[in-house]
């Protein structure tokens, strides 16, 4: 087999870029937490790099991809346990991956997705959760929620366009057995963002608010970290989206341009809302706009034209800027707005594909403006709803099981004196900035 | 001898230092402080949520002077520290019983 070394080189680079997103996320979240909790916030991401990295090798790939699908929901975890039989064949040759390079590179790419998706959830749980409970949750959640979602959408399961999928049942299949209208989730609007976003909402409800939430100021302690983190996320996201072309080709370039177009427009959208509503365009708003745009374009990066991406990004920026205020009105402590940014942005991106995709969407037909029908929109809404319900129910079951056994919350005293000190035996800063002048206890 | 203490806006420190040098003051102690007076801090907005930040950054400046120059020094500080906006700070004067220069052991006015 003659490998395409250009594709192989790009996909190894893309995998490395996506892995860098998780430390980037740790900075993004760490800066938004208070000085007494920043280490725990960052450790939730680094802990996931450990636990999910190990689990992916053992049964993660096997549950996501393979030939022994269980009801189109997940693949047999023991088919290629420990990556047996998926690296090289009986003759000792590398098994081919998705793009004329060895499959082991696809495995590298996918493990990084499992890590960042699980780490995203931690933003809803800032400053109050036992590190042990979080690590147990991460291992169970990635197994019962993430791998099945990856299988359903990307592994030929229920939410793909393959034979036996929901789309195939609704719209019929063509001569190759592919659904006539297949759902579009280019890089993970459902698998990554709706999945993590609904999990964050469910956990925030089950675990409850931080002591003093809504009463004492819980403002970000270091927005320079947050902005650096947002920049690293954007950089890493090129691996995420352009890498999802599985080749170093025009589609990868298209996804790159769409990613940047949507993100740029989302920054402006978010800042416009702030300037009009609050009077100032803030640095936190710019960093948040970056992430909102990146989230929304994730499922759409290979399906929209660049102008459509600008429209999608602007809508996502505005929608998420308003959505982050909901937690105060509804009274749940989604500490760092995983719901407002990832759930809302993921839904906006996944559903707007039905209006903006260049082929067969409501506004486009064969690449040109014009009525293209509602089938794409219908299947986009369906996969979004299935993802919401599936992940929501699974997460709720895991959350109440952990609540009833090891328990989620650290003690009140620990929460007031600071989770860094009590859970990790460390503090990030010396002196007054360490935030020991706690006010929650009053 | 008098101790003049001033709590001022951080951005007025350079002007106040220049004014004190012009008034013949040869030494001072400056420290970062935080607090609030009548203005009671300010508000900041993060992702649409408004927070009241009551303890805001100030600079505290302390100068030991001879009793007869205290009024001049106070005037120099007040003039240089004034921006006319709320939150400009306060200056106060207290009597000092004794001062010792650590290096030489001198007491009183000689140690100033």
Contact A219 B51 (CB under 8 A): yes
**Chain A residues inside the 8 Å CB shell of B46:** 219-220, 282, 284
d(CA B39, CA B59): 16
Set of chain B residues whose Cβ sits within 8 Å of the Cβ of A321: 47-48
ipTM: 0.74
The DSSP H or E segment spanning A364 is strand A364-365
Distance CA A356, CA A376 (A): 10
Q: At what angle do helices A223-242 and A250-277 cross, to 10 degrees?
A: 150
CA separation for the pair B87, B26 (Å, rounded): 27
The sign of the CA dihedral A233, A236, A238, A244 is: negative
Q: Which residues of A touch B50 (CB under 8 A)?
A: 278
Widest distance between CA atoms in chain A:
70
Tell how far CA A328 is from the center of its chain. 23
pLDDT recorded at residue A433: 46
Residue A293, pLDDT > 90, answer yes
- Has residue A165 got a pLDDT over 60? yes
Buried b (16+ CB within 10 A) or exposed e, A55-73: bbeebbbbbbbbeebeebb
Please indicate whether, in this complex, the C-beta atoms of B48 and A284 are within 8 angstroms of each other: no
Which two structure tokens, joined as six digits, stand for A272?
């416009």
CATH number attached to the domain at B2-111: 3.30.70.120
Report chain B's mean pLDDT, rounded to a whole number: 91
Look at residues A58, A106, A108 and name the one whose alpha carbon lies nearest to residue A79: A58
Note the pLDDT of residue A372.
84
Contact A143, A63 (CB under 8 A): yes
How many CB atoms are located within 10 Å of the residue A368 CB?
10
B73 within 8 A of B65, measured Cβ to Cβ: yes
- For chain A, the 3-state helix, strand and coil shares in percent, each to the nearest 5, are 65, 5, 30
Q: Helices A5-32 and A38-55: crossing angle, nearest 10°?
A: 150
Structure tokens at B34: 């935080």
Q: Six-digit token pair at A159? A: 């939410």
In angstroms, how far is CA A361 from the centroid of its own chain?
25
Q: Which residues of B touch A341 (CB under 8 A)?
A: none
The pLDDT tens digits for B40-75 are 778 888 988 888 888 888 999 999 999 999 999 999
Measured from the Cβ of residue A431, the count of other Cβ atoms closer than 10 Å reads: 7
How many A×B Cβ pairs under 8 Å? Answer: 33
> Is a pLDDT exceeding 90 seen at residue A304?
yes
**pLDDT tier at A324, thresholds 50, 70, 90:** very high
Backbone dihedral angles phi then psi of residue A255, each to the nearest 5 degrees: -65, -40
* Under 8 Å between Cβ of A364 and A310: no
Q: What is the mean pLDDT of residues A190-203?
A: 97
The shortest C-alpha distance from B75 to chain A (Å) reads 33
Among candidates A217, A280, A288 on the partner chain, residue whose Cβ is nearest the Cβ of B47 = A288
Chain A residues bordering chain B (beta-carbon distance below 8 Å): 217, 219-220, 274, 277-280, 282, 284-285, 288, 321-322, 324-325, 328, 337, 340
Average pLDDT over residues A282-302: 97
Q: Of 3.20.19.10, 1.10.3430.10, 3.40.50.2020, 3.40.50.2300, which CATH number belongs to A5-434?
A: 1.10.3430.10
Q: How close A284 comes to chain B (CA, Å)?
A: 7
Per-residue pLDDT band at B96 (split at 50, 70, 90):
very high
| CA-wise closest residue to A61 among A162, A155, A184 | A155
Helix (H) or strand (E) holding A388: helix A375-404
Closest-CA distance of chain B to residue A334, Å: 13
Q: In whole angstroms, give the CA distance from residue A152 to residue A381.
A: 15
Contact B46 A280 (CB under 8 A): no
Query: Tens digit of pLDDT for each residue in A67-92?
Result: 999 999 999 999 999 999 999 999 99
Q: What is the 3-state secondary structure (H, E, C) of B25-82?
A: CCCCEEEEEEECCCCCCEEEEECCEEEEECCEEEEEEEEEECHHHHHHHHHHHHHHHC
How far apart, in whole angstroms, are the C-alpha atoms of residue A160 and residue A145?
16
Distance CA A19, CA A117 (A): 11
Instruction: List chain B domain ranges.
Output: 2-111
Q: Are A337 and A288 in contact (CB under 8 A)?
A: yes
Instruction: For A35-58, write each residue's pLDDT tens digit.
Output: 999 999 999 999 999 999 999 999
* Structure tokens belonging to residue A255: 């996804």
Given pLDDT bands bounded at 50, 70 and 90, which one contains residue A439? low
CB-closest option in B46, B50, B52 to A220: B46
How many Å apart are CA B6 and CA A359, to the nearest integer? Answer: 70
pLDDT bucket at A345, cuts 50 / 70 / 90: very high
Q: What was the pLDDT predicted at A436?
A: 47
Query: Do the bridges between strand B2-8 and strand B89-95 make them parallel or antiparallel, or are there none, so unpaired?
Result: antiparallel
């Amino acid at each position: 087999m003659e490998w395409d070394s250009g594709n192989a080189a790009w996909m190894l680079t893309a995998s490395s870029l996506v892995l860098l997103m998780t430390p980037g996320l740790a900075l993004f979240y760490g800066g938004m937490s208070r000085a007494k909790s920043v280490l725990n916030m960052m450790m939730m991401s680094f802990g996931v790099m450990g636990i999910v990295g190990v689990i992916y090798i053992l049964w993660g790939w096997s549950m996501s991809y393979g030939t022994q699908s269980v009801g189109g929901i997940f693949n047999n975890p023991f088919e290629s346990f420990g990556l047996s039989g998926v690296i090289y064949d009986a003759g000792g040759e590398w098994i081919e991956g998705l793009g004329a390079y060895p499959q082991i590179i696809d495995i590298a790419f996918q493990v990084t997705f499992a890590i960042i998706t699980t780490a995203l959830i931690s933003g809803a749980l800032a400053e109050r959760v036992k590190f042990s409970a979080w690590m147990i949750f991460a291992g169970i959640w990635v197994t019962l929620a993430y791998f099945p979602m990856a299988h359903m959408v990307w592994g030929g399961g229920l939410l793909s366009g393959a034979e036996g999928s929901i789309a195939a049942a609704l719209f019929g299949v063509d001569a190759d057995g592919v659904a006539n209208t297949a759902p579009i989730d280019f890089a993970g609007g459902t698998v990554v963002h709706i999945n993590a976003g609904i999990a964050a909402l469910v956990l925030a409800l089950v675990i409850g608010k931080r002591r003093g939430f809504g009463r004492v100021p819980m403002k970000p302690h270091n927005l320079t970290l947050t902005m650096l983190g947002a920049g690293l996320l954007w950089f890493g996201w090129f691996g995420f989206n352009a890498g999802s072309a599985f080749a170093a080709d025009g589609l990868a370039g298209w996804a790159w341009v769409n990613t940047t177009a949507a993100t740029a427009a989302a920054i402006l959208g978010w800042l416009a809302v702030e300037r009009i509503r609050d009077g100032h365009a803030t640095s936190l708003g710019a960093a948040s706009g970056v992430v909102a745009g990146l989230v929304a374009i994730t499922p759409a990066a290979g399906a929209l034209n660049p102008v459509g991406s600008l429209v999608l990004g602007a809508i996502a920026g505005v929608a998420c800027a308003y959505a982050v205020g909901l937690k105060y009105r509804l009274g749940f402590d989604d500490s760092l707005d995983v719901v407002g940014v990832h759930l809302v942005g993921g839904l906006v991106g996944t559903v707007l594909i039905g209006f903006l995709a260049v082929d067969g969407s409501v506004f486009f037909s064969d690449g040109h403006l014009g009525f293209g029908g509602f089938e794409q929109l219908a299947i986009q809404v369906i996969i979004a709803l299935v993802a919401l319900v599936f992940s929501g129910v699974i997460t709720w079951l895991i959350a109440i099981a952990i609540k009833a056994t090891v328990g989620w919350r650290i003690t009140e005293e620990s929460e007031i004196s600071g989770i860094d000190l009590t859970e990790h035996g460390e503090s990030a800063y010396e002196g007054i900035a360490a935030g020991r002048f706690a006010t929650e206890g009053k | 001898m008098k101790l003049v203490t001033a709590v001022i806006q951080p951005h007025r420190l350079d002007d106040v230092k220049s004014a004190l040098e012009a008034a013949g003051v040869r030494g001072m102690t400056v420290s970062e402080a935080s607090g609030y007076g009548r203005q009671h801090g300010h508000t900041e907005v993060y992702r649409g949520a408004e927070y009241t930040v009551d303890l805001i950054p100030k600079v505290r400046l302390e100068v030991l002077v001879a009793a007869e120059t205290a009024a001049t020094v106070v005037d120099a500080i007040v003039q240089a520290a004034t921006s006319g906006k709320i939150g400009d700070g306060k200056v106060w004067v207290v009597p000092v019983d004794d001062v010792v220069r650590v290096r030489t052991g001198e007491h009183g006015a000689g140690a100033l």
